[in-house]
Amino acid sequence: MNNQLKNKVVIVTGASSGIGKACVEEFALHKAKVVFCARNISELKSIEKELTEKGHDVVAFETDVSKRDECEQLINSAIKKYGQIDILVNNAGISMRALFIDADLAVIEKLMNVNFWGTVYCTKFALPYILKTNGSIVGVTSCAGFHGLPGRSGYSASKFAVNGFLESLRIENLKSDLHILIAAPGFTQSNIRKSALLANGKPQGYTPVDETNLMSAGIVAKSIVKGVLKRKRNIILTISGKLSVLLQRVIPKTLDRLFYNHMAKEPDSPFK
């Protein structure tokens, strides 16, 4: 633990559970001032209370990142509270589990609105302040943003879009000290599979995989904080994640079959 992040102002979206919650806790441990948001205000307030009682400087806001006005309000609230923004962690995201041919288009639209537009909106309003502090913008994407996942077409599309957006933003700001980190976890212990949308738009409600041996959200959060401190460009997490990104470059057709077979073996797989 060091003091590099002491009194830095950090915003974390999608922070009511999983990686987002773990990021709030990890940045707070580094003595940063943390503004965090999600739609579940009761869970957010519980996290806020717990961390405040431990002496951390944190504040929660109810925010739906798919709504432009709420993203702007989040950034304005952070500025009103602390006067600056040093780090933005775009973590809010939802997934899906359905074949594209079966999925209601509203499912794809919702994923793009939360995963892609949520990142764009928050980044747009926070960027002028982060440029002033030579700060960092983090996109918590996925290995699905490097090679499409079957049954997750909308999710993969949104993550590819986020990767492209952040890479473009990085190049546009080459002459500034803006730092952009693309963090791509592999399969991680989180709530994302339980809340994944089915073809009809309803949450799946359970996880189809054994999460016992998956990387914990806490480890992902530590990696993200380390990536910010070292101002890394990209981090690919989990062995399977690193392997999939590598194989996508050298034997993509083989990787297609591996992904297909893996997803087809899941309980209640959408593959017929």
The DSSP 8-state label assigned to residue 6 in this structure reads T
155 is catalytic: yes
Rounded to the nearest 5 degrees, what angle is found at the Cα of 90, between the Cα atoms of 146 and 189? 70
Residue 92 zone, left/alpha/beta (φ > 0; ψ -120 to 50; rest): beta
| Annotated catalytic residue within 82, 129, 155, 260 | 155
Phi, psi of 212 (to 5 degrees): -55, -45
Beta bridge partners of residue 59, listed in sequence order: 35
Q: Are strands 179-184 and 9-12 parallel, antiparallel or unpaired?
A: unpaired
Beta bridge partners of residue 34, listed in sequence order: 10, 58
Surface-to-core class of residue 218, CB atoms within 10 Å of its CB (0-12 exposed, 13-18 middle, 19+ buried): middle
The DSSP H or E segment spanning 33 is strand 33-38
Give me 150's structure tokens.
């079957």
Phi, psi of 4 (to 5 degrees): -60, -30
Q: Going edge to edge, which strands form the sheet with 234-236?
A: 58-62, 33-38, 9-12, 87-90, 136-140, 179-184, 234-236
What residues are annotated to the active site?
155
